[in-house]
Amino acid sequence: MQFILGIISILLAEVVRDIYHIAGHYWQPIKQFHLLHHKAYRRDFSIANMETYKKSQLYNDVPEALCMVGLTAAIAILTQSPGMWLGCVYSFVFLVPAVLRSQGMLLATDLSHKPGDLVGIPALWRVNRTYHWRHHFDETNAYFAGHFTSVDRIIGTSLSLKGKVVAVTGASGALGQGLIEELSRQGAKVIAITTSPAAVFRAGTTTLAWELGAESELLSHLQEVDILIVNHGVNVYSDRSPASVYQSYEVNTFSTLRLTELFLSTITKSNDRATKELWINTSEAEVNPAFSPLYELSKRTLGDLVTLQRLDAACIIRKLVLGPFKSQLNPYGVMSASWVAMAIIFLAKRDFRDIIVTINPITYLLFPMKELFQSVYFRLFTKNAKISANLMSGNVVDRSTSKVN
């Protein structure tokens, strides 16, 4: 029991840290000191000015740690629970180095601000350097978490879309239109990528025409994109002719893979690991029947290959695992596309890497299990996750007749 109370006290200390951090952005008495913290670093987290750095430690990090120590100690005294003192001890581990850093000593203990290139992608549950870099240099009014990402996930600040350049394929479809509306409300700069030249989008949306099989022509545009949402698809329903097989796989699987590989090739700078993301609509057909066999098969293949890609991806890749919503592809859908779009953004801002939106409760159980076991299997029996370069040049369907929603 005391061990459990100790864990709770540590989590409480982290909540205090995050609340203090958030207050540092909005509460004037401490805001000026927190601004010193942001001024202390260059974009590679090297120290910009040693005096500013030491002041930021003394007037920002030390008071933050003191609040953690004080509140956890007060709770331990009030509850008379020995286990609650663990949070106080934990907080001292941050207080002592902060005091020493304010004197120019033990600078190597400032792990979240270790200088150098960003190595991995933003972590899911723990704040790593890439995650924290986004708070300093991407959007200062988001990514507040100090050690665990829980508070950001609860309040929806694990991802900021403000000012982001977001490109959406399948933009003329119902979900594409819904995503454009919701992304625009979040302050994103939206690019609608469509094969329908007559499609009309909301004011302020940039329209980009493309043809199936000509994905490479989008490369120059993708260089400037922060988030690519691959959302296009085709549903041939009951047709099982060879032409329908080729069309289903070309549109739902291979075209998507070419786009994802193209986008991943644009990740060339260190900070791209922090700012770029891929969202791929794989559908709940990954684990449940869609009563359209070729749609299921092509989407399931796509989902499996995306799982493989994620093992070594240089940026966050989110899967959109969506149930039946009303659209041109599925006029019998239960959910509205606008509601699904709103749910996708809500969950993305809370850093869900697998965004499940469906009315089927079985999917919420089956999909995480499938994804876990499959990723372990792929990791054990593969050596790299590169999709064959041949996919980049494949062209199975007649471009002149293929249109994608």
Residues recognised as catalytic: 295
Using CA atoms, how far apart are residues 236 and 293, in angstroms rounded to an integer?
9
- Amino acid sitting at position 254: F
Residue appearing with tokens 């949402």: 229
Structure tokens at 110: 């400032």
Q: Which residues, including other chains, have CB under 8 Å from residue 292's CB and lie 6 or more apart?
A: 235, 236, 237, 238
Whose tokens are 């690019």? That residue is: 191
- Residue position matching structure tokens 């290139």: 117
| DSSP state at residue 206 | E
SS3 of residue 231 by DSSP: coil
Here the contacts of 394-401 (C-beta below 8 Å, separation 24 or greater) are: 394/213, 394/250, 394/254, 394/258, 395/213, 395/250, 396/246, 396/247, 396/249, 396/250, 396/254, 397/212, 397/213, 397/246, 397/247, 397/250, 397/251, 399/211, 399/212, 399/213, 399/214
- CA 298, CA 389: separation in Å to the nearest integer? 19
Cα within 13 Å of Cα(61), Cβ side = 29
Closest CA to 286 of 253, 331, 332, 334: 253
